[in-house]
Amino acid sequence: MALAPALRDAALRWIADDPDPATRSELQQVLAAAMAGGATGSAAEAAADATAELADRMSGPLRFGTAGLRGPVRAGPAGMNVAVVTRATAGLAAWLAAEGISGTVVVGRDARHGSAEFAAAAARVLTGAGFTVALLDGPVPTPLVAFAVRELGAVAGVTVTASHNPPADNGYKVYLGDGAQIVPPADARIEAAIAAAPAAVSVPLGPEPAPAEVTGAYLDRVATLPRSPGGPAPRVALTPMHGVGGALVTAALARTGVDDVHVVAAQARPDPDFPTVTFPNPEEPGATDALLALAAERGADLAIALDPDADRCAIGVPDTGGTWRMLSGDETGVLLGDHLLRRPAPGAPAEPLVATTVVSSSMLAAVAAGRGARSAETLTGFKWIVRAGEGLVYGYEEAIGICADPDGVRDKDGISAAVVAADLVRALAADGSSVPQRLDELAAEFGLHATAGVSVRMEPAARDAAVVRLRDAPPAGWETDRPAPDVLRLRRAGERVVIRPSGTEPKLKAYLEVVEAPGPDVAAARSRAAARLTALRTELDGILGA
């Protein structure tokens, strides 16, 4: 691949405009390698590889959507680096000013590669634009940033994190003054402001602010979560999965009387390389093996896995035979929602609202109706869940995201979720019960709701064509509706399939649910539901032509 003059010139302009000497040097080396090849042989191959890499790095900018920015840490407009973060923050500041918004902006960050530098750059751009900045001290969990926005009366919040992405990535997430993530059209307007921002080297910088502290206030808030009377405090096995949530979740549990906590030693401290897991996501196969082994070894009552920025929480429990297993996101979501509805906080609304998403289990709605509460179903993402309506007391999504305290943190929060999970186990023990028994009781009362997620690898054109085909000509026997332009829902008696294209991969995602009627024989219902899910998956393959 020959180096095109336009690509060379674009790289040179970016290098000239990059305020960070480290990434300037990095991109200069790639450009030099692309320009240094000979006509044939290994030198030509090396130059072609460097040219392809340069083209990839210059293929940006990264899209700024409702999740902010996310991408690999590297030089160039298609990476996460100081220059990109500087221009993104300049765009955010310009948008806030255009909206007539001024005041304090919270800035926080995790412990990933580049996070400290990116947070410092964002803080200085904001002070340079005339904002007061509360820069949270050290690496902090993402929920602490969302909490700080409301606690400090800030007009916005920025956190530098890539959550559970691979080690090479980082990201940039924005909260509005209500403490919730941005939603359209704010994302598009901020993106336009970023595109109009000057070169990073020309963005005015102010002083780096002094560190701000809100951890104590957050722990005070967690201590107000509903508490079950009586019952022994559970013994907990914990992994922060090389992330930043370990110290805060341990302190939060201690505030509620749970101090017998055993942490997976090899995963206890923040490490941006995540050396003991293939993928730093509690949902990934094998990611919680060390946690469950520790739980069994220590005779724990509950296993808790946080993702690296601690906004998601997965829980594991011993089943009736003593074998440990991780619960699904839907199982956890329904269990904790039911627990909170049965133990409302002081001053809770008379008609509480719980919320989940179109791809999550429909069981929470059934539980809410049985507990005299309202329920809502939203599009995927906590930016929608926390805006589900007045009186919201709880929300969850199937991807192990839980909002147990919407008035405190208007986003998913793995730390408060862990506290509620520990309280659930304590309450069940006081009643001589357990999590598996409670799952069976809920199934007997509200019906067994079995769910499964399926990803079908398809090229984008085939993927999108499949959604259009199913929308225009749904399979016989199914009713269809579209909760969103890119989401298709198929329904028939006791079965549901939600289909949507992945926004980041060449995949079509499907979420399956089968429902068995309430009744005392839960074991038989589970067996029937498992068979129905298998049959539904086979049918779906035929429908998709996979």
* Mean of pLDDT values over 420-439: 96
Could you tell me how far CA 177 lies from the centroid of its own chain? 20
* Mean of pLDDT values over 4-31: 97
Which pLDDT score, from 0 to 100, does residue 346 have? 83
Rounded to whole angstroms, how far apart are CA atoms 229 and 342? 13
Q: Sort 216 into a burial class: Cβ within 10 Å, 0-12 / 13-18 / 19+.
A: exposed
Q: Is the pLDDT of residue 203 over 80?
A: yes
List C-alpha distances in Å: 129 to 103, 125, 205.
11, 6, 8
Which pLDDT score, from 0 to 100, does residue 463 have? 83
The structure tokens listed for 200 are 């990073």
Q: Is the pLDDT of residue 302 over 90?
A: yes
Which pLDDT score, from 0 to 100, does residue 471 have? 83
Greater model confidence, 322 or 24: 24
Residue ranges, comma separated, of all CATH 3.40.120.10 domains in the chain are 69-213, 218-444
What does DSSP say about strands 479-484 and 487-492: parallel, antiparallel, or unpaired? antiparallel
The structure tokens listed for 70 are 């996310």
Residue ranges, comma separated, of all CATH 3.30.310.50 domains in the chain are 448-544
179 contact partners, CB below 8 Å, separation of at least 6? 146, 147, 149, 150, 157, 409, 410, 411
Q: What are the pLDDT digits (tens) for 227-276?
A: 998 889 999 999 999 999 999 999 999 999 999 999 999 999 999 999 99
- Third-level CATH fold of 218-444: Alpha-D-Glucose-1,6-Bisphosphate; Chain A, domain 3 (3.40.120)
CATH number of 448-544: 3.30.310.50
Q: What are the pLDDT digits (tens) for 508-534?
A: 899 999 999 999 999 999 999 999 999
Band (pLDDT 50/70/90 cuts) for residue 65 is confident
The structure tokens listed for 410 are 């208007």
Rounded to whole angstroms, how far apart are CA atoms 412 and 401? 5
The structure tokens listed for 105 are 């902006």
Rounded to whole angstroms, how far apart are CA atoms 215 and 274? 25
Which pLDDT score, from 0 to 100, does residue 43 have? 80
Which pLDDT score, from 0 to 100, does residue 39 have? 57
Which pLDDT score, from 0 to 100, does residue 36 have? 85
Q: What are the pLDDT digits (tens) for 99-108?
A: 999 999 999 9
Let me know if 102 is a catalytic residue.
no
Which pLDDT score, from 0 to 100, does residue 546 have? 59
Q: How would you list the strands of the sheet with 479-484, edge to edge? A: 448-457, 507-516, 495-501, 487-492, 479-484
Pick the CATH number of 69-213 from 3.75.10.10, 3.90.920.20, 3.40.50.720, 3.40.120.10: 3.40.120.10
Which pLDDT score, from 0 to 100, does residue 455 have? 87
Residue entry with tokens 């070894």? 297
Which pLDDT score, from 0 to 100, does residue 438 have? 97
* Mean of pLDDT values over 443-454: 96
Q: Is the pLDDT of residue 347 over 90?
A: no
Rounded to whole angstroms, how far apart are CA atoms 386 and 439? 26
Greater model confidence, 542 or 111: 111
Greater model confidence, 485 or 114: 114
Rounded to whole angstroms, how far apart are CA atoms 28 and 102? 39
- Of 478, 534, 489, nearest to 511 (Cα)? 489
Band (pLDDT 50/70/90 cuts) for residue 503 is low
Rounded to whole angstroms, how far apart are CA atoms 165 and 127? 30
Which pLDDT score, from 0 to 100, does residue 1 have? 63
Q: Compute φ and ψ for 404, nearest 5 degrees.
A: -95, -10
Which pLDDT score, from 0 to 100, does residue 395 have? 98
Q: Which of 59, 102, 115, 163 is catalytic?
A: 163
Share of the chain above pLDDT 70, in %: 98
